[in-house]
Amino acid sequence: MADGQALDEVVTFTSDLIRIDTTNRGGGDCQERPAAEYAAEKLAGAGLEPVLLERTKGRTNVVARIEGTDPSADALLLHGHLDVVPAEARDWSVHPFSGEIRDGVVWGRGAVDMKNMDAMILAVVRNWAREGVRPRRDIVVAFTADEEASAEDGSGFLADQHPGLFEGCTEGVSESGAFTFHDGAGRQLYPIAAGERGTGWLKLTARGRAGHGSKVNKENAVTRLAAAVTRIGEHEWPLRLTPTVRAALTELAVLYGIEPDLTDVDTLLEKLGPAAKLVEATVRNSANPTMLDAGYKLNVIPGEAVGYVDGRYLPGGEDEFRTTLDLLTGPDVEWEFHHREVALQAPVDSPTYAAMRAAVEEFAPEGHVVPYCMSGGTDAKQFSRLGITGYGFAPLKLPEGFDYQALFHGVDERVPVEALHFGVRVLDRFLRSA
């Protein structure tokens, strides 16, 4: 059981890590090294031998291994990223990099995404060192750079260039799961992620005939791009149910006393009420236009226009995604992947999933654990190259009205101290039994 020092440390570590500004604006504009050195120091204090690794100067990753008692057991990867998305201080109630602790809440960028989980990992590992605890299976701890951009300097670099550090790892655990979801009717759900949609960020290029803005031009690149973007934005993607989403819908339906009719999913989602939010974004592929770039003078028709689309596809849905984009863009617009990563799926009947469920239920017996698929992505995509199956499990017990999901990349990101305490206890229980 996590001791009192672990409960104090998880709060201190969360606050300290928030104060280390690791803003990732993309394009290499980030320095994770100070946070990596902080994490490495705490791991070394627990008797481990952390390794610091960089592909690019200042973009630092930390990896350490905890030896288990059963050498024949598969190893488990426990990972969290150190970078955060940008935050505008003028929009916040407190400075986003203050790490302020006020009224039992830790404030700042990274409080839920995901320096809280980084702090939980450090607190549990140090608690084990004090108690002389060794897990059954080897646990590889990794703190990564660059998750909020391409992951090329982080998990991608580690998976491609240092696979030996993850020898024996068959499963991984990281962010976005086991948080309290209040359904508005008194139920507390704890979704554990067992899948992720794939990432298909697209660049669209329309070419045409440049000319004077006052002349008729049937080969206007801007018009061609705008038409393609409109078709993409208005497209209604067909329903596609993956095993993880089927399991989520079935368990939710049983919980709510509803017939789990998977032949009419839209009606089923309506009956689930607020709980449908856990599923509705992952029953289809999606493609949302996000950026446009065309022209250089108002009275000049440019010869080229460019747009960008945030596409996501379900496990097994990439071929359909590609074929549909070919049709929607048409003959006058080319598209390519600006960034692509695979979709993931993990079994919900595995011993590891059962151990996560049991750990949550021990400390939140009033809660209901359900599987879900993440609509976005995590470093689990890159680690899957090593054959590592990824789960989302960063436990937090949250009060009603605390919109956890809205705080991801949002203003006034924060996490209750009690939620961190719960997280340490649950993570400790899971890792001892995994």
Active site residues: 83, 147
The 3-class secondary structure across 48-60, one letter per residue, is CCCEEEECCCCCE
103 burial (CB, 10 Å; 0-12 / 13-18 / 19+) is exposed
What's the rounded Cα separation, in Å, for the pair 21 and 126? 24
What 3-state DSSP class applies to 191? strand
Q: Which of 397, 391, 381 is CA-nearest to residue 353?
A: 391
428: which DSSP letter? H
Amino acid at 43: L
β 139-144/75-81 pair status? parallel
β 389-392/169-174 pair status? parallel
- DSSP states along 67-114: --S-TTSPEEEEEEE--B----GGGSSS-TTS--EETTEEESTTTTTT
Hey, what's the torsion of the CAs at 400, 401, 407, 411, to 10 degrees? -140
Q: Alpha helices, DSSP H only, in 335-416?
A: 351-363, 380-383, 404-407
What's the rounded Cα separation, in Å, for the pair 336 and 345? 25
Cβ contact 177:348 at 8 Å: no
Residue 301 has a CB neighbour count (10 Å cut-off) of 22
- DSSP states along 260-294: --TTSHHHHHHHHGGGGGGTGGGSS-EEEEEEEEE
